């Protein structure tokens, strides 16, 4: 069996899906008999990314403690800059401000600032095109079609799509409760405000929501709920442990996951594994690839009214929610870590 380093970058004091993927992959590799370790490379604050790329480029992982490392599996920028002759990249995402988020990012800049960032963007694109190219990598995978399309559109690189399975938890179904469950970092791109606003819509007046997660928008979202008069129908739990998270997936009536242009999003497959339908939006990216309307969940327009109507439909028709949840669970069972390891390991 092989010694395999799973490499990702990691900004301090944060937690993200890429770390969940990294830890889950390490566990799956060990279960398959490999020796595996998670290696974290720097991800500096915005404007200092060149130093992070340089530091990662100078990181040689061919051996550790005098022993050979047989393979690297890298996950996100700039971790894929590490040096190893047998590297597979399973891409979570590149630096999105210089890719799909560029139009909105550039529009917020002044003239000199926009010029400086254009230069930086060109340098990052050139570096990524080289680092993710076939001359450096044994294989290039993307964690969703959304990510693969960005690579093709911006860098002209083709990637195979390999969806991450649900992380190992005690998934189960314990009926269909009277609330919508949402879990996410509370940041603008996750659009928890869309869920809160949906509760204030006429179609949403009978709905109750429970939100798990913390982040920069926590206080804003609570103020929004008070301002809309829905604070009695939405609970903000903050950070929750794994067992509490699994319990809410098991007990809720449906899961709402409506981010904007999400790379992949574990929430969808975790909800599926718990036998629950997912309500997402047409512009949510990765989740839309997995949620088949009327089969495993519902897809709404990204408006409070449309989202409210979709969620209300599931609570008004329990048999529909149960049918969609059952198919969602069947599809989640097809995503397994042993099969994923089999595709990622090339030694």
pLDDT tens, position by position, 16-74: 778 889 999 999 999 999 999 999 988 767 767 888 899 999 999 999 889 999 999 99
Residue 345 belongs to some domain of the structure: no
Distance CA 344, CA 73 (A): 7
Coil, strand, or helix at residue 146? helix
Q: Which of 162, 189, 217 is a domain's end point?
A: 162
Query: Do 72 and 155 have their domain in common?
Result: yes
β-sheet with 209-212: strand ranges across? 234-238, 209-212, 180-183, 254-256, 278-281, 297-300
Q: Which of 127, 162, 197 is a domain's end point?
A: 162
Residue 11 belongs to some domain of the structure: yes
Q: Which of 96, 128, 162 is a domain's end point?
A: 162
Residue 72 belongs to some domain of the structure: yes
Residue 324 belongs to some domain of the structure: yes
Query: Do 184 and 158 have their domain in common?
Result: no
Residue 167 belongs to some domain of the structure: no
Tens-digit pLDDT profile for residues 206-235: 999 999 999 999 999 999 999 999 999 999
Burial class (CB in 10 A: 0-12, 13-18, 19+), 320: middle
Looking at the predicted structure, is the pLDDT value of residue 197 above 90? yes
Residue 173 belongs to some domain of the structure: no
Query: Do 225 and 118 have their domain in common?
Result: no
Percent of the chain with pLDDT over 70: 98
Looking at the predicted structure, is the pLDDT value of residue 14 above 80? no
Tens-digit pLDDT profile for residues 148-187: 999 999 999 999 999 999 988 889 999 999 999 999 999 9
Query: Do 137 and 217 have their domain in common?
Result: no
The CATH number that applies at residue 227 is 3.40.50.2000
Looking at the predicted structure, is the pLDDT value of residue 273 above 80? yes
Query: Do 214 and 131 have their domain in common?
Result: no
Q: Span 191-215, mean pLDDT? A: 97
Task: Please indicate, yes or no, whether the overall pTM of this predicted structure exceeds 0.95.
Answer: no
Query: Do 189 and 148 have their domain in common?
Result: no
Residue 170 belongs to some domain of the structure: no
Tens-digit pLDDT profile for residues 301-310: 999 999 999 9
Q: Answer with the residue of higher pLDDT: 273 or 116.
A: 273
What is the residue range of 65's domain?
3-162
Distance CA 160, CA 168 (A): 24
Query: Do 142 and 185 have their domain in common?
Result: no
Looking at the predicted structure, is the pLDDT value of residue 91 above 90? yes
Residue 341 belongs to some domain of the structure: no
The CATH number that applies at residue 62 is 3.40.50
Query: Do 132 and 252 have their domain in common?
Result: no
Query: Do 225 and 304 have their domain in common?
Result: yes
What is the torsion angle, in degrees rounded to the nearest 10, for the CA atoms of residue 124, residue 128, residue 131 and residue 137? 170
Eight-state DSSP code of residue 316: H
**Structural domains counted in the chain:** 2
Query: Do 142 and 184 have their domain in common?
Result: no
Distance CA 210, CA 248 (A): 9
Helix (H), strand (E), coil (C) string for 218-242: HHHHHHHHHHHCCHHHEEEEECCCH
DSSP symbols for 40-68: EE--PPTT-HHHHHHHHHT-B-SEETTEE
Looking at the predicted structure, is the pLDDT value of residue 260 above 80? yes
Query: Do 196 and 319 have their domain in common?
Result: yes
Query: Do 86 and 235 have their domain in common?
Result: no
Tens-digit pLDDT profile for residues 122-143: 999 999 999 999 999 999 999 9
């Amino acid at each position: 069996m092989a010694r395999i380093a799973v490499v990702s970058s990691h900004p301090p004091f944060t937690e993200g899906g890429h770390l969940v993927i990294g830890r889950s992959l390490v566990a799956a590799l060990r279960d398959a008999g490999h020796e595996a370790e998670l290696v974290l490379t720097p991800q500096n604050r915005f404007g200092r990314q060149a130093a992070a790329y340089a530091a990662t480029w100078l990181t040689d992982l061919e051996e550790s403690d005098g022993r050979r490392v047989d393979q690297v599996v890298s996950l996100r920028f700039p971790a894929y800059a590490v040096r190893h002759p047998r590297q597979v990249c399973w891409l979570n995402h590149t630096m999105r401000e210089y890719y799909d988020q560029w139009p909105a990012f550039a529009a917020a800049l002044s003239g000199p600032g926009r010029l400086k960032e254009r230069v930086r963007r060109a340098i990052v694109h050139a570096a990524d095109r080289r680092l993710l190219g076939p001359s450096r990598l044994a294989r290039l995978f993307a964690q969703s079609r959304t990510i693969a399309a960005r690579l093709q559109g911006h860098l002209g690189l083709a990637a195979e799509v390999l969806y991450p399975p649900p992380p190992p938890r005690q998934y189960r179904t314990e009926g269909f409760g009277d609330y919508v469950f949402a879990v996410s970092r509370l940041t603008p791109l996750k659009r928890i405000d869309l869920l809160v606003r949906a509760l204030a819509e006429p179609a949403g007046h009978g709905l109750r929501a429970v939100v798990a997660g913390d982040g920069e928008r926590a206080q804003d979202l609570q103020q929004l709920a008070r301002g809309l008069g829905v604070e009695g129908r939405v609970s903000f739990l903050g950070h929750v442990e794994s067992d509490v998270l699994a319990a809410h997936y098991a007990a809720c009536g449906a899961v709402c996951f409506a981010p904007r242009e999400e790379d992949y999003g574990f929430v969808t497959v975790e909800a599926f594994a718990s036998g629950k339908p997912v309500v997402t939006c047409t512009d949510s990216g990765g989740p839309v690839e997995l949620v088949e309307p009327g089969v495993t969940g519902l897809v709404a327009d990204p408006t409070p009214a449309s989202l409210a109507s979709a969620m209300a439909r599931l609570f008004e028709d329990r048999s529909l929610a149960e049918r969609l949840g059952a198919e969602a669970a069947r599809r989640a069972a097809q995503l397994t870590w042993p099969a994923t390891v089999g595709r990622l390991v090339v030694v």
